Amino acid sequence: MTRTAWTWLILTLAAVALVLGPLDLTEFGIPYAGLKRYGIYILTLWLVTAVAAMGVNLIVGYAGQETLAQAAFLGIGAYATALMAKAGYPFGAAFAASGVVSFVVGILLAFPALRVQKHYLAFVTLAFAIFVWLVIRNEEWLTGGVSGMDVRRPALLGLSLRPALYFYWFTLAITAVLVFAMWWLLRSPWGRAFTALRENPIRAESLGVDVRMYTVLAFAIGSAYGGFAGSLYAPLVEFIDPAPFSLAPSLLLLLMVVIGGAGSFLGPFVGAAVAVLLPEWLRFAESYYLIIYAVLVIVMMAFCPTGIVGLAERLLRSRRRNGVQDGTVALTRAKQ
Amino acid sequence: MTVVLEVRDLAKSFGGVHAVNGVSFDVHQGEILGLIGPNGSGKSTLFNCILGQLEPTRGEVRVDGKTITGKRPSALNRLGIGRTFQLLQIFPQLSVRENLILAGQEHKGSMLSRLFGAGDAGLSADADRMIAFFRLQHLADEAAGALSYGQQKLLDAAMAFMAGPRLVLLDEPAGGVNLTMLASLKERLQAINQDTKATFVVIEHNMEFVMALCTRILVLAEGRIIAEGPPAAIHRDPKVIEAYLGH
């Protein structure tokens, strides 16, 4: 089987698993009881988090910039959706507006990136994240401040998405579209230019790549993904307050990308799974779970700086090499 | 002969150090001009001022009669000016083919057509031709970082020619390249010069390489041009000998 055929087979199986994952399959003779409401909520949260992490991965992993502000864009998207829903706009319009507003704010945030690099840039984005969080917390007339805002789940063609399962499928469909859009972007000349920006901006510029333009685009598109994620997050949790949009979640989103594999397409999904699902699996450890989590992260970074996807690729490559060596030995023996 | 590049009274100072100090010269179409000089004579600074990497303190640079002083390197590249750097500058994680596609993609269509069009910007065939021209066929799908130093130097040069530039500034293309690769590089550069009538300016320390490749040579010392002429005359010029040997 060719590599493309393998890829399609794995993608199809993953899609089927994601669609059927929450369902009880025992009626069909398959010993799988599906997920309860909380399990479906966690799975949906994983998708939403992965969308936000995809944006960080574009900015940090592909374009080689720094951002500690993704949770701020999550907040911009969430509050834009909540405010527009309150004003009576349909979810589709609120979702689009969340992306557009984040895209535009992302352009503004990108301008410092044209002047400062590395940790200086990280501090600029950090200051922006704190600024957005303060606005959300203090401008009570607009955001409700620490009292927060209620958000209703939308309806789709007359069908209410209030049931967790329906909202999960809805989020899955939107995530699929956003994954396809990101894949298209990264396989296009723009994706190659982003990689060039990360690897060698001076050479890229000398080859006609407008480094300033692509830096701004990376920030704007990555931030728009944060806005889209926020737009899905608000109706998922049905109540938003400033806490999830503070600095700590921004750091966590960056950690997800690094743990999953910065600059790898699947990295944000794997990283988001570690950040969202691992704490659930570690619940048995009760108050020790954060210590175990921290140790896992330290071990991971020390022994595999390319993240989990990088580790998997390394293992696959070494297995393939061993396979080729075994084949060569067998062939030599057969000849003898 | 048509003048392609005109440099007029170009100067660049870093504090009290005058790295380039009032340099003026012309380069004609199809010419291969050598730029030599001892270390620290201002050759690479001169290149960087011409190509927009550094802002000159004074002076003017014109290409085809149009002033290009102060334009960004990317804008100059899109005007048909290519370059290589003193230190090897490739994209190690991209394959050889991807490096070449990247080197040409910004010359194809608009930003939007590059987003919605083909992933290779329609450049795979051109990249393969360039790969064959520089005899790197067996390495086309390899990551550029996995190539030997000499092969990376060939790729670096190939990238400068991918967009079909009219003027190419090569900064020490022969640096660290073994004798076999060196002969191949010289032959390939001469072939491109013959085929496309592109104009080259070459900085080089390898005298044998520069004397064999170039039709005219400029000698730079302490930021000023101290000699100019055909390779044979430069070889014997006492000012050049003094600048290199210091007596």
Is A205 within 8 Å of B121 when comparing Cβ atoms?
Answer: no
Same structural domain for residues A50 and A23?
A: no
Of the candidates A78, A123, A82, the residue with the CA atom closest to the CA atom of residue A102: A78
Task: Report the residue of chain B nearest A196, measured CA to CA.
Answer: B91
Which residues touch A230 (CB under 8 Å, ≥6 apart)?
A52, A73, A74, A75, A76, A77, A78, A79, A80, A81, A98, A102, A245
Q: What is the ipTM of this complex?
A: 0.90
* Contact (CB<8Å) B89/A193: no
Q: Which H or E run contains B164?
A: none
Contact between B203 and B86 under an 8 Å Cβ cutoff? The reply is yes
Rounded average pLDDT over A283-293: 78
Mind giving me the DSSP string for A201-243?
HHHHHHTT--HHHHHHHHHHHHHHHHHHHHHHHHHHHSEE-SG
- The pLDDT of residue B87 is 87
Q: State the pTM of this model.
A: 0.90
Measured between CA atoms, the residue of chain B closest to residue A208 is: B74
- Whether the pLDDT of residue A143 is over 70: the answer is yes
- Output the pLDDT for position A145: 93
**Residue B133 CB contacts under 8 Å (≥ 6 apart), including other chains:** B158, B188, B191, B192
Dist. CA B63–CA B92, nearest whole Å: 32
Segments forming the whole domain that contains residue A121: 35-305
Mean pLDDT of B149-158: 90
Same domain, A246 and A281: yes
Interface test with B, best of A198, A206, A209, A221 (most B CBs within 10 A): A206
User: For tokens 């939107």, what's the residue?
Assistant: A174
Calculate the average pLDDT of chain B. 92
Strand order in the sheet with B58-63: B17-28, B3-14, B58-63, B66-67
B155 touches chain A (CB under 8 A): no
Q: Give the nearest partner residue to B98 out of A192, A208, A211, using CB atoms.
A: A192
Q: Does the distance separating the beta carbons of A192 and B106 come in below 8 Å?
A: no
Q: Are residues A29 and A42 located together in one domain of the fold?
A: no
Over residues B222-229, mean pLDDT: 93
In a domain, A330, yes or no: no
Identify whether residues A74 and A21 lie together within a single domain: no
Q: Give me the number of domains chain A comprises.
A: 2
- Which has more confidence, A229 or A301? A229
In a domain, A311, yes or no: no
| Cα A217 to Cα A335: distance, rounded to the nearest angstrom | 58
Q: Which span out of A77-86, A266-275, B182-191 was modeled with the highest average pLDDT?
A: A77-86
In this prediction, residue A325 carries a pLDDT of 67
Residue in B with minimal Cα distance to A62: B93
Number of Cβ within 10 Å of residue A61's Cβ equals: 26
* Helices and strands of chain B, counted as H and E runs: 10, 10
Q: Which two tokens stand for residue B7?
A: 């440099």
φ, ψ for residue B173 (rounded to 5)?
Answer: -65, -25
**Contact state of B115 with A190 under an 8 Å Cβ cutoff:** yes
At A69, the pLDDT band (50, 70, 90 cuts) reads very high
Q: Are residues A4 and A67 in the same domain?
A: no
Query: What gap in Å lies between CA A227 and CA A221, rounded to an integer?
Result: 10
- Give yes or no: residues A105 and A124 share one domain: yes
Q: Say if B194 is an interface residue toward chain A (CB within 8 Å).
A: no
Share of chain A above pLDDT 90, in %: 69
Q: Which residues of chain B have a CB within 8 Å of the CB of A208?
A: 74, 77-78, 106-107, 163
Assess B102–A contact: CB distance below 8 Å, yes or no: yes
Say if residue A336's pLDDT is above 70: no
Of the candidates A185, A199, A205, the beta carbon closest to that of B74 is on A205
Mean pLDDT of A102-122: 90
Task: Quote the CA–CA distance of A209 and A211 in Å, as a whole number.
Answer: 6
Angle at alpha carbon of residue A305, lines to B143 and A268, rounded to 5°? 85
Q: What is the pLDDT of residue A334?
A: 67
Q: Which residues of A touch B146 (CB under 8 A)?
A: none
Q: Is residue A327 part of a domain?
A: no
> What pLDDT shows up at residue B239?
86
Question: What residues form DSSP beta bridges with B10?
Answer: B23
Residue type, A253: L
Task: Determine contact, residues B33/B217, Cβ cutoff 8 Å.
Answer: yes
Residue A163 lies in a domain: yes
Residues B58-70 have pLDDT tens digits of 999 999 999 999 8
Q: What SS3 class is residue A149?
A: strand
Distance CA B113, CA B169 (A): 29
Is residue A57 a part of any domain in this protein?
yes
Which of B150, B169, B158 is closest to B43 using CA atoms? B169
Residue A290: give its domain's CATH number: 1.10.3470
Residue A301 near residue A274, CB atoms below 8 Å = no
| A183 and A294 together in one domain | yes
pLDDT of residue A194: 97
If asked whether residues A149 and A85 sit together in one domain, one would say yes
- Whether the per-residue pLDDT at A328 is higher than 80: the answer is no
Q: Do A107 and A21 sit in the same domain of this protein? A: no
A interface with B, Cβ–Cβ < 8 A, is 185, 187-190, 192-193, 195-196, 199-200, 202-211, 213
A182 with A287, same domain: the answer is: yes
Q: B24 pLDDT band (50/70/90 cuts)?
A: very high
The reply to whether A124 falls in a domain is yes
Looking at this protein, which amino acid is placed at residue B72?
R
Mutate to test the interface with B, among A183, A185, A207, A306 (most CBs of B within 10 A): A207
pLDDT above 90 for A303? no
Q: Where residue B246 falls among pLDDT bands split at 50, 70, 90?
A: low
Judge whether residue A318 has pLDDT over 90: no
Q: Are B93 and A166 in contact (CB under 8 A)?
A: no
- DSSP β-ladder status, B216-221 and B224-229: antiparallel
Across the interface, do B106 and A207 touch by the CB < 8 Å criterion? yes
Is residue A317 assigned to a domain?
no
Contacts of A114 in chain B (CB under 8 A): none
Cα-only R_g, chain B? 18
pLDDT by residue (tens digit) across A168-216? 999 999 999 999 999 999 999 999 999 999 999 999 999 999 999 999 9
CB–CB of B156/B84 below 8 Å? yes
Please check whether residues A156 and A206 belong to one and the same domain: yes
Q: Has residue B43 got a pLDDT over 70?
A: yes
Taking contacts as CB-CB distances below 8 angstroms, the residues of chain A near B74 are: 205-211
Residue A170 lies in a domain: yes
**Which distant-in-sequence residues (6+ apart) come within 8 Å of B233 by Cβ?**
none
* Residues of chain B with C-beta less than 8 angstroms from the C-beta of A306: none
**Residue B43: which residues within 8 A CB-CB, separation 6 or more?**
B35, B36, B37, B171, B203, B220
CA distance B98 to B158: 12
Inter-chain CB proximity B78 and A208 less than 8 Å: yes
Same domain (yes/no): A97, A17: no
A331 pLDDT exceeds 70?
no
Amino acid found at B155: L
Per-residue pLDDT tens over the stretch B155-192: 999 999 999 999 999 999 888 788 888 888 899 899 99
Interior angle at CA B180, CA B177 and CA B186, nearest 5: 75
- Set of chain A residues whose Cβ sits within 8 Å of the Cβ of B77: 205-208
